[in-house]
Amino acid sequence: MNTSNPLSHPQVEQRVNELLARMTLEEKVGQMNQELPLAPPQLDAVRAGRIGSFITEVSALAGAGVDPSPAVRAEICNDLQRVAVTESRLGIPLLFGRDVIHGYRTIFPIPLGMAATWNPERVEQAASVAAMEAAAAGIKWTFAPMLDIARDPRWGRIAEGPGEDPFLGSALARAMVRGFQGDNLSRPDKLAACAKHYAGYGAAEGGRDYNFVDISMRTLRDVYLPPFRAAVDAGAATLMSGFHDYSGVPVAANRTLLTDVLREEWGFQGFVVSDWNAVHELVVHGIAADDGDAAVKATTAGVDMDMIAGAYVNQLAQQVRSGRLSIDVVDQAVRRILRVKLAAGLFDHPYTDPQRAARVILTPDHRALARQLAHESCVLLKNENNLLPLRPEGPFKRIAVFGPFAQARGELFGTWTLDGRAEDVTSIADALRETAPTPFEILCLSDKPDESLYHTLMGVDLAVLVVGEHPRRSGEAASVSNLELPAGQRQMIESIHDAGVPIVLIVLAGRPLAIKREVDLAHAVLYAWHPGVEGGYAVADLLFGRAVPSGRLPVTMPRATGQVPIYYNHRNTGRPAANRGDSSRYIDLPIGPLFPFGFGLSYTTFRYSDMRIVQNGRTVHISAQVTNTGAIAAVETAQLYVRDVVASLTRPVKELKGFCKLFLQPGETQTAHFTLSEEDLTFTGLDDRPVFEPGVFHVWVGAHSASGLQGTFEL
């Protein structure tokens, strides 16, 4: 058990027990019930203690589709809270939850973009700002961080998560939990975190959202679980179970995952909420006969709160009375929920000061942080002849800006943004025009190319094309079968190229797209994900050199859709992939990705040298010198990869085990230091238990997963 965890405080336990002793069965079940706020509000149900939590949205897809949810305000939450606190028998406060995924009103880059910063400290600051803003609107619980590792970008929800790597994902998990919760969850500017969607949801077969998952327990443990473990160890107050069926057992009824692993192995003290209507969906999956059966299976497995299905509130009391469910199971769930409410300080300060919102929401400081994150999230994939940054003395003065997202504003937010407002955003085209230094001339052209466009292009030196995906093409229920740019965009790029105008491509996307042809045609490519409220200015800063790109891919970029799942930490096979012969390859496509995991260019260059490996007992110290060999000060992300050469199981060809950021002046050299211990080299063995196997390890320090200085050690 984590002793610094606010959920395991003795005083909290005592109050939980006192309350539990006074509760009726109906009141207990009420705590396990989460509802949507209706109009008129369910005041009688709140008074009767039949609702423990509200999810302040009106649809499962709120924020992922056209957002129908009304804004939430402190006054609205306070009014409901007052009824719970002063008019219900025991005065147990309500817990208000909302999807605050990558910012509240100050929208940061999508989580996949934040992952591309490889900067947990910055991500923690973003989560802290999101918490401060949302808490001022009456929210005390966010359904974030989303920690689903994804190796298949057809899956639209890859946008919401940390990418393909468990080590990076774990670092970001800790950062987000710390940012949302701080070291004291009861502070009025903090939110309870909800690590989701436990677990393995990102491995949906075929990349189709909600699809079943059939991966080994070993892969689940080594690849998909680590970020959740990190979130639990960082004190995450709650977890959300996934919609999916893992290996034949839907997670909402999966006792192995929810109880054996989460509670018994990891010592998780908080509570688990189902995903939207997932308790009822156990009937649809075909493992429960009806809602009563589903409610029994879900609670017994370890789902403590039912998100909007109504199955618990309508069925559980009867199931207990008829002897089909033990009251101990109910008590245990209620205990976990009350623990979180107490740790969140709801009993001591249940209301939100309505004046606070105006002071803390979308402040200049928050915008500055959003801009910084957007700078750091953009990945420069190509920069022929150092075309970027655009220099006043360079050859490109008249610059045309267009493409389907050049004028986009709200679209810069990306998926899952309930509270962002388009009017807060300056488009990329406007930001370029507004901030262009002399002697640049920025021509913002129509989004829809026509004959006059090509005529205009005759007189320009450079085209900045803003292409990519609309936010609704990624996120929940937005899987695609084709990873290429949406129809028409390639043709537009080809025609500009044919007109002889050099192209800077800005790609907005919720996933790594297969853009081989477009990358070939462009002179420079900046992959900007969906960069958030300050995305317009951030892109302009990067193009004009006021900021230097430092983003690194948190996912492998495929050449073609048919390559997925494609990820760097695969196993070797007996006939490793090569471009010829009887090897594990496709005969119609070169092997290897378009860009490897960890890749990203800068406006300068870095050299790695002098790798050292020093063993000190059971610890290995690895270092390398990193030199900025160019003329611009910039940040490099030095990455450490390891391979376990011979083991009782086949092991990945490389695994990320460390990274660090170095800010280097031109000509400056710094040392990247890493340490490895047995724990870092432990994996899930043949018996599904953690094992460290002594032996020889290869190690690389370098700029990305397909490069680096190589060494060897034995441990």
Residues with catalytic roles: 275
Q: Is the dihedral of CA 566, 567, 568, 573 positive or negative?
A: negative
Nearer to ligand NOJ, 240 or 401 (CB): 240
Whether 159 contacts 112, CB under 8 Å:
yes
Only segment of 53-61, 360-368, 434-442, 549-557 that touches ligand NOJ (CB under 6 A):
53-61
Q: How far is the CB of 387 from ligand NOJ (least distance, A)?
A: 40
Terminal C-alpha separation, the chain: 29
Q: Select the residue interacting with ligand NOJ from 27, 35, 57, 518 (CB under 6 A).
A: 57
Q: Is 60 in the site for ligand NOJ (CB under 6 A)?
A: yes
Give the interface size with ligand NOJ as a residue count (CB under 6 A).
10
Residue type, 338: L
Q: Select the residue interacting with ligand NOJ from 476, 636, 644, 655 (CB under 6 A).
A: 476
Distance CA 181, CA 160 (A): 19
Closest CA to 94 of 337, 357, 418: 337
Distances (CA, A) of 164 to 113, 410, 507, 574, 584: 13, 27, 20, 24, 21
- Beta bridge mates, 443: 400
Q: How far is the CB of 98 from ligand NOJ (least distance, A)?
A: 8
> For the window 252-291, what string marks contact with ligand NOJ as x by the rule CB under 6 A?
-----------------------xx---------------
Q: How far is the CB of 48 from ligand NOJ (least distance, A)?
A: 25
Q: Is 196 in the site for ligand NOJ (CB under 6 A)?
A: yes
Distance CA 200, CA 243 (A): 10
SS3 205: helix
- Read off the tokens for 270: 């908080």
Nearer to ligand NOJ, 197 or 657 (CB): 197
Q: How far is the CB of 593 from ligand NOJ (least distance, A)?
A: 28
- b/e map 337-371, b = 16+ CB within 10 Å: bbbbbbbbbbbeebbbebebbeebbbeeebbebbb
- Beta bridge mates, 339: none
User: 544: how many CB neighbours lie within 10 A of its CB?
Assistant: 18
Q: How far is the CB of 477 from ligand NOJ (least distance, A)?
A: 9
Nearer to ligand NOJ, 143 or 659 (CB): 143
Q: How far is the CB of 160 from ligand NOJ (least distance, A)?
A: 7
Only segment of 55-63, 461-469, 617-625, 657-665 that touches ligand NOJ (CB under 6 A):
55-63
Nearer to ligand NOJ, 102 or 335 (CB): 102
Sheet holding 238-241: strands in order across?
Answer: 194-198, 238-241, 271-273
SS3 229: helix
- The residue at minimum Cβ distance from ligand NOJ is 143
Q: Which residues contact 201 (CB under 8 A, 6 or more apart)?
A: 148, 157, 213, 242, 243, 244, 251
Q: How far is the CB of 568 from ligand NOJ (least distance, A)?
A: 27
Q: How far is the CB of 201 from ligand NOJ (least distance, A)?
A: 8
Q: Left, alpha or beta for 103 (phi > 0: left; psi -120 to 50: alpha)?
A: left
Nearer to ligand NOJ, 159 or 465 (CB): 159
Q: Is 151 in the site for ligand NOJ (CB under 6 A)?
A: no
Pinpoint the alpha helices (H) of 211-355: 217-219, 226-233, 255, 278-285, 291-301, 311-321, 327-343
Q: Is 143 in the site for ligand NOJ (CB under 6 A)?
A: yes
Nearer to ligand NOJ, 196 or 552 (CB): 196
Nearer to ligand NOJ, 413 or 599 (CB): 413
Only segment of 16-24, 52-60, 550-558, 606-614 that touches ligand NOJ (CB under 6 A):
52-60
- What secondary structure does DSSP assign to 233-273, as a single string? HTT-SEEEE-SSEETTEEGGG-HIIIIIIIIIIT---SEEE
Only segment of 56-64, 386-394, 642-650, 691-699 that touches ligand NOJ (CB under 6 A):
56-64
- Read off the tokens for 670: 């710094």
Q: How far is the CB of 549 from ligand NOJ (least distance, A)?
A: 30
Nearer to ligand NOJ, 97 or 536 (CB): 97
Q: Is 99 in the site for ligand NOJ (CB under 6 A)?
A: yes
Nearer to ligand NOJ, 94 or 521 (CB): 94
| Footprint on this chain of ligand NOJ (rule: CB under 6 A) | 55, 57, 60, 62, 99, 143, 196, 275-276, 476
